[in-house]
Amino acid sequence: MAAGFQLLFSVDETKAALRRRGPDSLGCKNVVLHYKNSSSVKERNIVSSIEEEEATGDCLSSMSGETCKADNGFGINSLGHLYFVGATLQLRGMDPVSQPLVDAFGNILVYNGEIFGGIHVSSNSNDGEILMQSLGSCCACSSSGHTITCYHSGKGQNSVPDLLSIIKGPWALIYWQHNTKTMWFGRDGFGRRSLLVHWPTSEDSRLLLTSVSPPSSLHESSDLVDESGMGKLNFWEELSCGVYSLSIHTSNVDENLVGKVEHHEWTNPNLKELIKWERTSVVPKYEELHNICRKTPCDQQDMQSAALPKMPSVLGEDLTILAVTRHHENDGSSPVAVLFSGGLDSMIIAALLDECLEPKYSIELLNVSFDGQLAPDRISARAGVKELQKIAPLRRWKLVEIDADLLTLSSETKHVMSLINPAKTYMDLNIGLALWLAANGNGWLSDESSKDGDAGYQRLKYKSTARIVLVGSGADEQCAGYGRHKTKYRQGSWVGLNEEMKLDMQRIWKRNLGRDDRCIADSGKEARFPFLDEDVIKTLLDIPLWEIADLDQPSGIGDKKILREVARLLGLHEVAVLPKRAIQFGSRIARESNRRNFGSNRAANQASAGSVAIYGPSS
């Protein structure tokens, strides 16, 4: 390590943070970079060798955490070294797999994600291993210098950016390409998996990449700020979506082993179109608006249904891929849970999951309340379970009621502050704490065999066993579910609404998804976002905006109109008219947090008056 620099955290602390995300195994690889012997300094070339380190724990895979550090000052003759750590949560593949993965050519991969398309992965295969094989076949040039017939082989190999551009599904990775001495890293186009970066500074000259920050790296910047998010400069930042590379050669790195990082463009035209988030039909023509106004409610429902049949099937196809994890093949316990408020998004996810999951498996519905049975989300969750039981009476629905008291969560709050880092607003903390408690899954089940009305429910202690948690992120952004969407519509009509929704989708990676992934994965579970599946995004973009939402109508009718119709198609008529309620308000953590930190909700609102809200108001 560079002499004279005080490190904010140790490698062991990083390993501990990653191990919570990937409890099945932990592996390490150390790549030593040194000069190849030469009589001329100008002719010295960098070569590398891998030093083995003993891995701990059991081996499985589909990694839920990764870190890499580039660090100088290793050994007398060395240029530096790269240190890779991979913690594994294995959800796919028959045989145990441990990361980092190393192939026969010296390439190293730490992978956190799933491959749902683009690269074929058989039901018995592990996607990390398949990706490693595909990356090993990539040419040794960047996409900017790549031609269809690559000069390295003449066989038309893909470049690394070409390959990563065709993957469908959430991912973040770090890949060491041995023959080019190039480190590749990045995350998918929507940022559904966390990847934090520390760019070298005078205080800490290391280049660091990690799925989650160790608690001690909060350092002096751990104070929460108002919703403007203005505070001290963070040690970590969310890595922007995309593919990056750093080639390590004597001609392009400095004495700290840091050179120019290149950001590569996506090469898949379909992915590029999705990221642009351009909708064909934004402003309705006069006759279309006239026809809508003339329709009765029943007629409108029939008209809308013509655009709807694909929506449930596309969402269902995404959920079908989840299938059953390797740890639940021989019993009927829950392989998949739903972050559940009883609201529109979570009810649709639960109903569609029922259609694609074998009947022998139960489904966990994780519900958090900071006000016991009185929180709005607890009330709607209990009502939602009853509605799900009507449409799927043979399924065993497990409503896991997770009760929390903010006053008793001091150590947990501090821990979650490290997980939401680099986010640091009270809203981030409230959302993060609710997500963390839900994913942890320590709660109560109602024993319905002993019920005598709601008052007679006997509650039994329960711990969630699911390793996958389905989350409704992306539904509000794509279907005009936020209160600010109605404001923009009133100010700028359809064009203003479309631009606000586009802005939401293009910044969701920074404001929501990295934070949510870190908070959920900390319990050894993987977050999945059905509404952010590539096919679902494309399907919604193909639907005219006026069929997505009608914000001239009251809340609970016109907002997220398309999803309300999907709910009706699934037989969920009661939830189809519920207004949107954000988790921090539905669970009542925002109210309790305001009382604790400001004395009251009114004082909290006055304290934040005049600040620029990061998240904007939610209806």
> Which amino acid belongs to residue 256?
N
Look at the alpha carbons of 63, 67, 70, 75 in this order and tell me if their dihedral is positive or negative.
negative
Judged by DSSP in three states, 86 sits in: strand
**HEC-encoded secondary structure of 130-193:** HHHHHHHCCCCCCHHHCCCCCCCCCCCCCCHHHHHHCCECCEEEEEEEHHHCEEEEEECCCCCC
H runs (alpha helix) in 306-395: 310-322, 344-356, 376-391
Residue 412: its pLDDT value, please? Answer: 93
Model pLDDT for residues 48-57, shown as the tens digit of each residue:
666 655 433 2
- Which residues are within 8 A (CB) of 104 and not within 5 positions of it... i.e. 6 or more apart? none
Cα-based distances in Å from 348 to 167, 312, 337, 342, 343: 26, 9, 13, 9, 9
Neighbours of 415 (CB within 10 A): 16
Model pLDDT for residues 338-368, shown as the tens digit of each residue:
999 999 999 999 999 998 888 999 999 999 9
Model pLDDT for residues 103-135, shown as the tens digit of each residue:
999 999 999 999 999 999 988 889 999 999 999
Element (H or E) spanning 262, and its range?
strand 262-264
Judged by DSSP in three states, 565 sits in: helix
Q: Where are the beta strands (DSSP E) in 354-422?
A: 363-369, 397-403
Question: In this structure, what token pair is assigned to residue 559?
Answer: 């907002």
CA gap 531, 533 in Å, rounded: 6
Cα-based distances in Å from 335 to 21, 469, 473: 17, 9, 20
Residues in the chain: 619
Torsion angle of alpha carbons 252, 258, 260, 266, nearest 10°?
120
Model pLDDT for residues 152-181, shown as the tens digit of each residue:
444 556 899 999 999 999 999 999 999 888
**Considering only 186-190, 335-339, 389-393, 609-613, which range has the smallest mean pLDDT?**
609-613
CA gap 309, 542 in Å, rounded: 13
Q: Where are the beta strands (DSSP E) in 438-584?
A: 442-447, 458-463, 468-470, 526-528
Rank 78-92, 281-295, 590-604 by mean pLDDT and report only the highest: 78-92
Q: Which pTM does this prediction carry?
A: 0.86
Residue 346: its pLDDT value, please? Answer: 96
Element (H or E) spanning 290, and its range?
helix 286-294
Q: How many CA atoms within 13 Å lie on the side-chain side of 540?
A: 30
CA gap 514, 469 in Å, rounded: 15
